[in-house]
Amino acid sequence: MFKRGRSVLVDMDISELQFNALLCIREYGPLTMGDLCKNLYVACSTATDLADRMEFAGLVERVRAEKDRRVVALHLLPRGNEALDAVIAERQKFISEIIKDYTDAEYEELSRSSKLLAEKMELVEV
């Protein structure tokens, strides 16, 4: 599923690390470089280079905080959101293709197992 969804990124010239950064920004909101480092588990220099490339590609923009101009956060731009939406749509299409021939019993089992997995995952501290 991940491979199929990220195949969309090749046409958009977006790397997996850039995609992961976009996901983090969408999930947590605008991120400082330090927050991006923590979420991606990369060195600050790597995050800075990544931000430079994403900004140049029109995926994000750097915005200075109004209260403290030293603080700079990455904000998603429309092209970044479009990339994320395209990958999600491709993943949904892929899953739909896989389960289209499921019987009602198989679909119910998948639904039950997915809910159970989600409940167990919520209990795990990260």
The residues, ordered by sequence, that sit 6+ positions from 58 with a Cβ below 8 Å of its Cβ are 77, 79
How much is the pLDDT for 10?
83
DSSP letters for 33-74:
HHHHHHHHT--HHHHHHHHHHHHHTTSEEEEE-SS-TT-EEE
- The tens digit of pLDDT for each residue in 55-82 reads 999 999 999 989 998 899 999 999 999 9
Residue 31: is its pLDDT beyond 90? yes
How much is the pLDDT for 9?
85
β-bridge pairing 72-76 and 60-64: antiparallel
Helices and strands of the chain, counted as H and E runs: 6, 3
The residues, ordered by sequence, that sit 6+ positions from 92 with a Cβ below 8 Å of its Cβ are none
